[in-house]
Amino acid sequence: ALPLTRQPFTLGVASGYPSPQGIALWTRLAPEPLAPGGGLDPVPIEVRWEIAADDHFGRVVDSGRALALPAWAHSVH
């Protein structure tokens, strides 16, 4: 995995479409949102995610990994 030296979540993380079966999460890695490529090299970056039942992530209920691809502006859904 490519180590990031700057905060990549400057645009935040969004969620929506909740249902009993799941939820949609979205983010875009962009340490410099107005720079070409969001300030990132044009390479895939692995993103690890977690969903917890509490605000302090003491009870993680699901987790996974996704690739943020440069062709999709390093966004992850």
Residue 6 has pLDDT above 70, yes or no: yes
> What element of type H or E holds 45?
strand 45-52
pLDDT at 2: 53
pLDDT at 3: 62
Residue 7 has pLDDT above 80, yes or no: yes
Mean pLDDT for all residues in the chain = 91
Beta-ladder partners of 52: 60
Q: What is the pLDDT of residues 14-43, one digit of tens each?
A: 999 999 988 999 999 999 999 999 999 999
Residue 4 has pLDDT above 80, yes or no: no
Q: 30 burial class (0-12, 13-18, 19+ CB within 10 angstroms)? A: buried
